[in-house]
Amino acid sequence: MIDVQGLSKRFGDTAVLNGIDLTINDGERIVVIGPSGTGKSTLLRCLNFLDMPESGRLRIGDLELDVAKAGKADILAVRRRTAFVFQNYALFANKTARENITEALIVVQKRSRIDAEARADEILRETGLADKADVYPAALSGGQQQRVGIGRAMALDTELMLFDEPTSALDPEWVGEVLDLMRRVAERRQTMLIVTHEMQFAREIADRVIFMEGGRIVEQGSPQQLFDHPQDPRTREFLKRVG
């Protein structure tokens, strides 16, 4: 289980997260929606310590900490319990598709090369990229790169997978294949926290949808509740605008 309490973050004088409280059950798939600049990315980045949160408590499985007091070891521990899928893929440019997946397994998790490569090949098959194993990211399409990005995150077997607008940078023709892969990840009851503008997709896979605005969680509920019967005027306003 993941438990976030009073998570806050400011950039200079602007408060970007204002005390986020969020409990995520094992296997739960949560979609976060909300207007631009509301802190959705920042929330995900703080859960992976890519951005340093300022205050709040964080519990991921057996790890519990006061984020304000997090030291180097805590930061690594949190990062090793969460996996991040980036909007711009962020594949290691000097590594092939297979190496992108094995890299952290070997270097961070200290698994043997043979073991890591077997796992990578398994994942490349699942993501439909078996024939691209030895190709560098620059020679892959956006959709293929993002599937490797998701594969790299899957291989880590973390307690939480974070997706920050994984299809927003893609040409429309590649969006479908990436969403399909995410559906397959979701079917395994992998705990997921997803920021996306794909409302139909959210409806299909989310156990819970969260609407954020101004660094706060305004409203949350099942997709039916939130999309069909939004309670807060701000949620209604936002949903009307995105159609």
Partner 1 sequence: MQALDIDYMLGLVPVLLGYIPLTLGMATAAMVLALILGSLLAVERVVKVPVLDTLVMLFISFFRGTPLLVQLFLFYYGLPQVLSFLTQINGVTAAVMGLTLHFAAYMAESIRAAIIGVDRSQWEAAQSVGMTQTQMMRRIILPQAARVAAPTLVNYFIDMIKSTSLAFTLGVTEMMGATQKEAAGSFLYFEAFLVVAILYWIIVEALSQVQKLLETRLNKAFAR
Question: What is the binding site for ligand ATP (CB under 6 A)?
Answer: 11, 16, 34, 36-42
Q: How far apart are CA 122 and CA 128, in angstroms?
A: 10
Cβ proximity to partner 1: between 76 and 228 the closer is: 76
Q: How far apart are CA 48 and CA 59, in angstroms?
A: 12
Q: Tell me 227's DSSP state.
A: I
Task: Please name the residues in contact with 2: beta carbons below 8 A apart, sequence gap of 6 or more.
Answer: 22, 23, 24, 59, 60, 61, 159, 160, 191
Shorter beta-carbon distance to partner 1: residue 117 or 213: 117
Tokens 């997946």 correspond to 101
- For position 192 contacting partner 1 by CB under 8 A, the verdict is no
**Which residues in 90-149 contact partner 1 (CB under 8 A)?**
90-95, 103-104, 107-108, 136-139
Pairing of strands 82-85, 160-164: parallel
CB of 127 to ligand ATP, least distance (A): 25
Residue 163: is it exposed, middle or buried by C-beta count within 10 angstroms (0-12/13-18/19+)?
buried
- Pick the stretch among 45-53, 140-148, 199-207, 222-230 that binds partner 1 (CB under 8 A): 45-53
Among 5, 18, 55, 88, binds partner 1 (CB under 8 A): 88
**74 sits near partner 1 (criterion: CB under 8 A):** no
- Residue 197: helix, strand or coil by DSSP? coil
Question: Which residues are CB-contacts of 167 (< 8 A; sequence separation ≥ 6)?
Answer: 146, 174, 175, 178, 179, 196, 198
Q: Which does 50 bind (CB under 5 to 8 A by kind): partner 1, ligand ATP, Mg ion, none?
A: partner 1
Stretch of residues binding partner 1 (CB under 8 A), selected from 10-18, 47-55, 119-127, 223-231 = 47-55
Pick from 105, 135, 137: which is nearest to 118 by CA?
A: 105
Please choose which of Mg ion, partner 1, ligand ATP, none residue 118 contacts, taking the beta carbon within 5 to 8 angstroms, the exact cut-off set by kind: none
Q: Which does 48 bind (CB under 5 to 8 A by kind): partner 1, Mg ion, ligand ATP, none?
A: partner 1
CB of 167 to Mg ion, least distance (A): 13
Interface residues with Mg ion (CB under 5 A) are 41
- What does the binding site for partner 1 look like in residue numbers (CB under 8 A)? 48-50, 76, 79-80, 82-84, 86, 88-95, 103-104, 107-108, 136-139, 152, 156
